[in-house]
Amino acid sequence: MKTAKPSPDTAALHAHESAQAVANPAAHDHDHAHGHSHAAGGASVESALAMAEAYCRERGEKLTPIRRKVLELLLASGRATKAYSLLDEMRQIHPGSAPPTVYRALDFLLSAGLIHRIESINAFAVCHDLTQCQHGILVVCQQCGNVTELHEPKLRQALVAQIEAAGYRLSGDGIELKGVCAQCQASEQASAEGAKAAAHS
């Protein structure tokens, strides 16, 4: 996924991102198998889109072309993506795309339970099982934006109970842990070894 710099037209989008970050995330019920990474291949993108369309029809809602395209971009990315990057990609396909158009699509996908908001990096990622996820614990790579969802209901319940016992109430359903994924760790190690070898040569 390219990391495009925001253009002046994205100022409104960033303002909306800041406002959305303090809003309650949409409530939705999903169910996950244990520890899924948010990645998708070409064939699975099409099947995921078909599943999402069928799910929306069952809910009496419509996955409009814009909503479908935003979901497709997130599926193709396979990792958490910021809204302005989605906007840049949308403008390559539909030059007239405006920030509110992308945010309306994201808001719909959130409310339908098809994507997650990753609060720690202010980005969005596809819910691994799309229509059957129960909020798990998200592990977010702070370097590349890869997201893995851990489905550990007992651990999550125990964590929420401890948080409440400490006198806090969660402002949303998401629980995020920051980290560095295996791929980024390997890259770091390779870079360190390369630098060490260069220093000794």
- Render each residue's pLDDT in the chain as its tens digit; 201 residues: 333 333 434 344 444 444 343 333 333 333 333 454 444 444 588 999 999 999 999 999 999 999 999 999 999 988 889 999 999 999 999 888 899 999 999 999 998 889 988 888 889 998 876 655 566 788 989 888 888 888 888 998 899 999 999 999 888 777 889 999 999 999 999 999 888 888 877
Can you give the pLDDT at residue 183? 92
> How far is Cα 20 from Cα 35, in angstroms, rounded to an integer?
27
Q: Is 181 annotated as a binding residue?
A: yes
Parallel, antiparallel or unpaired: strands 175-179 and 137-141: parallel
Do 138 and 158 contact (CB within 8 A), yes or no? no
Residues with Cβ within 8 Å of 122's Cβ and at least 6 positions away in sequence, in order, are 17, 21, 82
Q: Enumerate domains of the chain plus CATH numbers.
A: 28-200 (1.10.10.10)
- Do 114 and 131 contact (CB within 8 A), yes or no? yes
Asked if residue 144 belongs to a known ligand binding site, the reply is: yes
Residue 131 pLDDT? 59
What are the angstrom distances between the C-alpha of 53 and each of 22, 74, 106, 118? 29, 15, 15, 23
pTM: 0.68
What does the pLDDT read at residue 24? 34
Query: Is 56 assigned to a binding site?
Result: no
> Residue 129 has what pLDDT?
67
- 135 appears as a binding residue in the annotation: yes
Going by C-alpha positions, the residue among 174, 110, 104 that lies closest to residue 140 is 174
